Amino acid sequence: MSELHYMSLLDLTKRMHAGEISPVEVTKAQLQRIESLDPGLKSFALVTPELALKQAKAAEADIMRGDIKGPLHGAPIGLKDLCWTRGITTTGGMTLYADFKPPEDAAVTAKLEQAGTICLGKLKNTEGAYTDHHPLVTPPVNPWNAEHWSGVSSSGSGVATAAGLCFGSLGTDTGGSIRFPSAANGLTGLKPTWGRVSRYGVFELAATLDHVGPMTRSAADAAAMLSAIAGPDAKDPTAAQRPIPDYLSEMVKGLQGLKIGIDSAFNAPGLDHPTAAALSSSVEVIKALGGDIREVAFPDIEAVLADWLAACAAETAVAHEATYPGRKEEYGPGLAGVIDVGRNLSAMELQKVILRRNDFRGRVAAFFQDVDLLIVPAQSIASPTLDRIATLSEDIPLMRGLMRFTSIFNMSGNPTITLPCGFTEAGTPIAFQFVSDHWGEDKLFRAGYAFQQATKWHLRHPAM
């Protein structure tokens, strides 16, 4: 079973459904791999072998009867430790919740179980899903190069999926937290439209900025996972009452007929050479595939980029009102600091942020009247080292370079797909994004699948 750990999720389950591979044996092999490798990678907050084997036995029995629940049935996955699991410790990366066992599953947890997935455990995230791990928590280690950043906040999801410890995972994204670890670890990450996926039972960082989505090793796997978790939810009235496209059928349609914008002036500021070169090569691939590339002018982002911190801080302060400042001593400095910013904002300051954000959302919606997709880097700086990330709070160009192409699409709510597209001299991955209009995930999967049919970046794996 050891040779299966880097197989795509859909290839794995296809073989399971054909009776060629046992879900129980695969799950046992994955648990052994976690036991062997994760002491060094530190991606899991909690491994759940009893639950995994129970679900694997149930999946195997269902499949043997011909009762196949869908393309995910039998797939061993991991859940970001923000996602509630009934009766199983869920900490949100916070020592404050070290003993918290939710009374019910998150909506996404329940939907993945209904789809027949096998939960291997809970994957580490930064404290409360903000920028830093709690001082008492050891961050996950980048499997490509331990001296390089593994991304935040869904760092455990990124590391475990890239290292073959699970076949896919859930992440959340408030300012880049699906996209940063996807880029850092060579994964395909899908940040859906805000409202496409229920947030019920997922620890909140900033309600109107939080997105829940899949982190996988291919666009096809991401399409299958989004199909399972998307849709309305009676417990989350912000989950949209919209039909879910058949993403797996749609993704094979290719790039023909899609108008793809690129704003060279928008992409250029602060872009380092490895990222610029990888992006340029990717654009040439897209052209060769028949993509209708056209030069465009994206709306100005400077105000909304600066406003992200205030918007996030205010909503984070609300999310932690019950425990902060009452239990402030249990918070790390990063999360406590952003809550303090939020608590000190005036009503007038916050209203100005809201007005500028609404203006930007309108301009972005108008922009996508003329194009189907936009190409942007995942971040301006490819694979920063841990030493450089340690200076993040003082290094404003680095902070802006990381956030420039991510946080603005949390402010607008647009969906994006992150795709590996090259490697640095240090052997670490580089990525870019397609962005679409609201509810345009089907177009993102078309573009991502076409790109991955023509390239092999997503097929490279760390030597573990």
Are 212 and 108 a contacting pair, CB within 8 Å? yes
Strands 76-80 and 118-123: parallel
What does the block give as tokens for 16? 């399971």
pLDDT at site 2: 53
Average pLDDT over residues 98-123: 98
pLDDT (0 to 100) of residue 242: 95
- Stretch 131-143: mean pLDDT, rounded? 96
Alpha-helical segments (H) within 255-380:
264-267, 273-288, 302-319, 333-343, 347-367
Q: For residues 154-188, b (16+ Cβ closer than 10 Å) or e, as one string?
A: bbbbbbbbbbbbbbbbbbbbbbbbbbbbbbbbbbb
Identified catalytic residue from 8, 43, 150, 153: 153
Quick one: pLDDT at residue 235? 98
**Mean pLDDT computed over 189-214:** 98
Map out the domains of the chain as residue ranges. Answer: 2-459
pLDDT, tens digit, 9 for 90 and up, residues 22-70: 999 999 999 999 999 999 999 999 999 999 999 999 999 999 999 999 9
Considering the domain 2-459, what is its CATH architecture?
Alpha-Beta Complex (3.90)
pLDDT, average across residues 364-381: 97
Catalytic residue among 8, 42, 43, 80: 80
**Non-local CB neighbours of 150 within 8 Å, separated by 6+ positions:** 139, 140, 141, 142, 158, 159, 181, 184, 185
pTM for the structure as a whole: 0.97
80 is catalytic: yes
Share of the chain above pLDDT 90, in %: 96
- The distance of Cα 99 from the centroid of its chain, to the nearest Å, equals 26
Least confident range of 186-200, 242-256, 391-405: 391-405
Q: What's the rounded mean pLDDT across residues 260-288?
A: 97
pLDDT at 397: 79
Q: What is the pLDDT of residues 434-456, one digit of tens each?
A: 999 999 999 999 999 999 999 99
Query: Residue with structure tokens 């670490």?
Result: 428
In the DSSP assignment, the letter for residue 245 is P
Active site residue 153: yes
Q: Which of 177, 218, 227, 412 is catalytic?
A: 177
